Structure 1
Amino acid sequence: MAMNLAQWGNALHSGEKTYPIVQQRKRWFLISGILMVAAIVLLLVKGLTLGIDFEGGTQFQVSNASDPDPAIATEVIENAVPDEVPEVSILGTNDVLVQIGVIEQEQSQEITAELADAYDVSADEVGFTQIGPTWGAEVGKKAVQGLIIFLILVAAVISIYFRAWRMAAAAIGALAHDLLFTVGIYALVGFEVTPATVIGFLTILGYSLYDTVVVFDKVKENTTHLTEQNRYTYEELANLAVNQTLVRSINTSVVALLPVSAILFIGSFLLGAGTLKDISLALFVGMAVGTYSSIFVATPLEVSLRMREPRIKEHTAMVLKLRETGDVDVAHKADGSVVVGALTPGRHLGTQAQPRRKKK
């Protein structure tokens, strides 16, 4: 009989069923490496489409338009400023947002009047904002500073909480992985990067970090008494932690992605609420890749760093030697991974594994 979802989750948590996720870390590192290289190439070739808040520009907002057709605004801009390519989006049901580059004050007044006439509204209902390139560059600088400060604080908090700089390094590596991948997607699709996008980036970093910390907390719990037993290696117990939190990570991600999907696909694309896509795309891509990184990047990277410690290396060598000599029984699956049931009742990590009695 096929195993249902609840039974599958219980089998993963007890260690009765495990997937060799950490043991196959080279495969995941290769996949992530390819994705990161692709993201960097996209950034170098296509680059990011920066909004006027970063590059500077002019913005008009028409309120209460009787016919909020983007084509009307496009025609007005093309006639008034032929060299400019306007970006027009609909806000709500009857507001029109028009963004172009920096123009002269006289031109902005003319366009304001023409937009009011084209949409049959009063001039007071056409808002005008102009951002200089110097101020826009300052906004970009502050955004980068905020990101750097965030990463420094994350590294400090994780190092203090787990008392292990390797976990902090692995967490930062996973966050960099998520951020670079998401930015690469923005370069690929050409979505505009606005302050709302930056907020989305910081949000997904926090979400990814939360998921990673949960897995790391389980790794710490499983390996606290590592050297007091000789049945399982650090790698195997860390892999058990990933499997034990696998169902939780999947469920949490699905629940979080459902409303974000509604915002992105229904709100942005079907209903035409253009400003929602600035943050919703970052959230959707970031949450999805954040779940991937917390499972396939963060813990495997942490294990790779920890396996270089002399204490871990010595313990691993001892466990493998005992298995080779047949002094300790450990169940293996067909794929070569170890069935870790160390956390089931009666089999605690804090006790020494008993050597197998040899037959007389």
Structure 2
Amino acid sequence: MSKLGQLGAKLHSGEVSYDFIGKRKFWFVVSLVLIAVSLIGLFTRGLSLGIEFKGGVEYQTNVKVTDSTVQDFGDAVKATNAQDLGDPIVTTVGADKVRVQTKPLSQDDITKVRAAIAQEAGVPVDQVTSQQIGASWGQQIANKAILALVVFLGLVFLVIWAYFREPKASMAAIIALVHDVTITVGVYALVGFDVTPATVIGVLTILGYSLYDTVVVFDKVRENTRGITGSNRFTYSDATNLAVNQTVVRSINTTLIALLPVGSILAVGTFVLGTGPLKDLSLALFVGIAIGAYSSVFIAPALLAVFKEREPGMQALNRRVTAKRAQTAASSAPAGATPVAVGAGAGGGTATKAAPRKQDRPTGTAPTPAARPMKASGAGRPQPSRKPRSKRGK
């Protein structure tokens, strides 16, 4: 068995344990810092919306890409002085294609920009493709994306509530999902990647992944906390922490296996292809899978424990467990000194003989557990409970 497998077995049995729930304040602070950085990037830099959302015109043509391609094509498009042109967005697609995006233009201006791009690329005008996307269509795409996200979160809340019979589990899962979306969107704002329909698909996909991981942990929590209020051995946080330890190796394994191919796609889409839906989709998947695994281990179970331990029944359980642990600690600490205290306090061995304990009886004063049971005869003398062999059957 590998070292990771051995560690997983020890974590599952409780032989080795990390206090995930006990250190929840630290993980909450880490998440708040990540969310704050994401929101700062979102409000200061903003999202770089793709042409599908804000509308505009997209031109593409084949050209040998050089270090000055982006600058040369940008200057060529600006030289047309098209009305409401703004700053064109020039990106390279691989090593033999260039893409230029502008704001919505009139048909005459579109023709001017096409001619300028063709002249700069050294190709005929008919080899420059153009596609105009209206702003209203982009707004419809954005509205549908937001609606899909809201419907998804609503269905998640209802499904988890129905499965676990626990609305607090739904609340913890939804907060973890919002946590994942916020950080993923913040990374997009900080990196500057275009937000395209592929990005929306990636975000919805990683929400499903994060939810799957969270449900696995919650299912183990439910198993460990079944009937917990009828005992006084563990608190809800203790049982939840055990559940996280029992599933953390599985979460690590599945996350690493998922990140390897997604990371490869991200590298190819960024450094080889340069742009396109592949890059947008892979970034959302990579960031979302990593953050989703983090939230399912460190955030969602801790939130569930916080919510549940506010219940009166769980607070009573905490008091019982605390009292039992204090009693156990108090009884185990002076255990070795008890026999000395009894003998000394009685002024010798008299008190010990007057009230002997079963385990403190002197040798020979009582029959050993292996001795044959005896019973009193009519004369009051102890006799064996079984007849002698010579008198059996008579």
| TM-score, normalising length: structure 2 | 0.77
Shift of 1:114: 3.4
Deviations 1:311-354 (A, max 9, x none): 22212221221111129999xxxxxxxxxxxxxxxxxxxxxxxx
Change over 3 Å in CA distance of 1:272–1:190 after alignment to 2: closer
Provide the residue aligned with 1:67 in structure 2: 64
Task: Please give the alpha-carbon distance, in whole angstroms, between the structure 2 residues aligned to 1:329 and 1:286.
Answer: 50
Shift of 1:68: 4.4
Q: 1:251 aligns with which of 238, 250, 253?
A: 253
Shift of 1:92: 5.4
> SS state of the match for residue 169, structure 1?
helix
Alignment of 1:324-335 (within 5 A): 324-326=326-328
Deviations 1:270-309 (A, max 9, x none): 4524543212211111111111111110000011001011
Shift of 1:359: 7.6
Task: Please give the alpha-carbon distance, in whole angstroms, between the structure 2 residues aligned to 1:329 and 1:269.
Answer: 67
Question: Is the 8 Å Cα contact of residues 68 and 119 (structure 1) preserved in structure 2?
Answer: no
> SS state of the match for residue 80, structure 1?
coil
> SS state of the match for residue 79, structure 2?
helix
Provide the residue aligned with 1:282 in structure 2: 284
Provide the residue aligned with 1:43 in structure 2: 42
Change over 3 Å in CA distance of 1:66–1:140 after alignment to 2: closer
One-letter identity of the residue aligned with 2:220:
K
Task: Please give the alpha-carbon distance, in whole angstroms, between the structure 1 residues aligned to 2:156 and 2:277.
Answer: 30
* Matched pairs, number: 329
Task: Please give the alpha-carbon distance, in whole angstroms, between the structure 1 residues aligned to 2:134 and 2:158.
Answer: 37
One-letter identity of the residue aligned with 1:153:
L
Shift of 1:262: 1.0
Shift of 1:166: 0.5
Alignment of 1:91-240 (within 5 A): 91=93, 94-240=96-242
One-letter identity of the residue aligned with 2:264:
A
Task: Please give the alpha-carbon distance, in whole angstroms, between the structure 1 residues aligned to 2:44 and 2:123.
Answer: 42
Question: Is the 8 Å Cα contact of residues 60 and 98 (structure 2) preserved in structure 1?
Answer: yes
Task: Please give the alpha-carbon distance, in whole angstroms, between the structure 2 residues aligned to 1:328 and 1:265.
Answer: 60
Task: Please give the alpha-carbon distance, in whole angstroms, between the structure 1 residues aligned to 2:53 and 2:276.
Answer: 18
Structure 1 residues 71-80 or 314-323, which shifts more?
A: 71-80
Shift of 1:234: 1.1
Deviations 1:171-216 (A, max 9, x none): 0000000111111111112222111111111111111111111111
| TM-score, normalising length: structure 1 | 0.84
One-letter identity of the residue aligned with 1:253:
T
Provide the residue aligned with 1:306 in structure 2: 308
Question: Is the 8 Å Cα contact of residues 323 and 329 (structure 1) preserved in structure 2?
Answer: no
Provide the residue aligned with 1:14 in structure 2: 13
> SS state of the match for residue 131, structure 2?
strand
One-letter identity of the residue aligned with 2:64:
D
One-letter identity of the residue aligned with 2:165:
R
Shift of 1:120: 4.4
Task: Please give the alpha-carbon distance, in whole angstroms, between the structure 2 residues aligned to 1:175 and 1:329.
Answer: 46
Question: Is the 8 Å Cα contact of residues 51 and 193 (structure 1) preserved in structure 2?
Answer: yes
Question: Which stretches in structure 1 are left out of the alignment for 5+ residues?
Answer: 331-357
Question: Is the 8 Å Cα contact of residues 36 and 180 (structure 1) preserved in structure 2?
Answer: yes
Shift of 1:81: 4.0
Task: Please give the alpha-carbon distance, in whole angstroms, between the structure 1 residues aligned to 2:46 and 2:269.
Answer: 26
Shift of 1:225: 2.5
One-letter identity of the residue aligned with 2:205:
T
Task: Please give the alpha-carbon distance, in whole angstroms, between the structure 1 residues aligned to 2:107 and 2:148.
Answer: 33
Task: Please give the alpha-carbon distance, in whole angstroms, between the structure 2 residues aligned to 1:204 and 1:269.
Answer: 23
Task: Please give the alpha-carbon distance, in whole angstroms, between the structure 1 residues aligned to 2:41 and 2:331.
Answer: 51
RMSD, aligned α-carbons? 2.4
Task: Please give the alpha-carbon distance, in whole angstroms, between the structure 2 residues aligned to 1:171 and 1:229.
Answer: 27
User: Larger C-alpha radius of gyration, 1 or 2?
Assistant: 2
Which structure has more relative contact order (CA 8 Å, sep 6+)? It is 1
Task: Please give the alpha-carbon distance, in whole angstroms, between the structure 2 residues aligned to 1:24 and 1:251.
Answer: 23
Establish whether residue 77 from structure 1 lines up as the match of residue 80 from structure 2. no
> SS state of the match for residue 22, structure 1?
coil
One-letter identity of the residue aligned with 2:191:
V
Change over 3 Å in CA distance of 1:140–1:273 after alignment to 2: closer
Question: Is the 8 Å Cα contact of residues 87 and 100 (structure 1) preserved in structure 2?
Answer: yes
Structure 1 residues 157-166 or 138-147, which shifts more?
A: 138-147
Question: Which stretches in structure 2 are left out of the alignment for 5+ residues?
Answer: 333-357, 361-394
Task: Please give the alpha-carbon distance, in whole angstroms, between the structure 2 residues aligned to 1:163 and 1:76.
Answer: 63
Task: Please give the alpha-carbon distance, in whole angstroms, between the structure 1 residues aligned to 2:81 and 2:170.
Answer: 52
Provide the residue aligned with 1:33 in structure 2: 32
Question: Is the 8 Å Cα contact of residues 39 and 185 (structure 1) preserved in structure 2?
Answer: yes
Structure 1 residues 86-95 or 308-317, which shifts more?
A: 86-95
Task: Please give the alpha-carbon distance, in whole angstroms, between the structure 2 residues aligned to 1:329 and 1:174.
Answer: 43
One-letter identity of the residue aligned with 1:187:
A
Task: Please give the alpha-carbon distance, in whole angstroms, between the structure 2 residues aligned to 1:200 and 1:215.
Answer: 23
